Amino acid sequence: MKLTIVYDNEIYKDNPGTSDHGFSCLIETEEKNILFDTGTDGNILLENMKLLNINPSSIDTVVISHEHYDHNGGLSQLLNHLTNPTIYRLEPVGLGSTIIEKKVSAPIQITPHIISTGRLSGSPVDEQSLLLETKKGLVVLTGCSHPGVGNILKAAKKQEEVIGIIGGFHGFADFNLLKPLAFIYPCHCTAFKKEIKDMLSESAFDCGVGLQLTL
């Protein structure tokens, strides 16, 4: 399973692309290519994909963590490049007869090794995160963590032990909850990136457009 950050507030190292407020992560598996969130601007999303040698037509599944512009804003332009995609979201809106929209409420299997947490209550909006199954345990992929990182980790641990977390953490500040994790990638809207990386310097790493991880 390979992850590539294609939309983020920062650029990772010297990778090409444009940084912008928003988040999107491509997950490539043997079964499907899944795009988790679509950033804010479809033009930036598609250009970043081009620069990172990602063909958008290879994406067959899209998961929208929550219905905020910085996570669903690029979807309409992306859909022009997809063929009969399946969209997993909390609030389907009716995108046309060739697009399958699946409403997410309870935990649901997206692929054999990827599970949605299901709808988790958050403020100001509810949200879903993805649980990525690896040989060593679960990796949690978050959008903005509106339900709270602690609540997301608690939901994930009902499935299996968590070894890592990637995504936006918003104003999360209970850093001790992250200590047991092998790796932490605070992205996008995380308010305390520096504090997390300072406190957990051996396990917390930079995120940004172009970051690639193989799980």
At residue 213, the 3 state secondary structure works out as strand
Determine what percent of the chain is predicted with pLDDT higher than 90. 97
Residue type, 175: F
What domain range includes position 110? Answer: 2-214
Residue with token string 């997410």: 104
φ/ψ of 214, rounded to 5, equals: -110, 120
CATH of residue 154? 3.60.15.10
Q: How many domains does the chain have?
A: 1
At residue 12, the 3 state secondary structure works out as coil
Residue type, 194: K
Would you call 37 exposed, middle or buried from its count of C-beta atoms within 10 A (0-12, 13-18, 19+)?
buried
Q: What is the pLDDT of residues 96-153, one digit of tens each?
A: 888 999 999 999 999 999 999 999 999 999 999 999 999 999 999 999 999 999 999 9
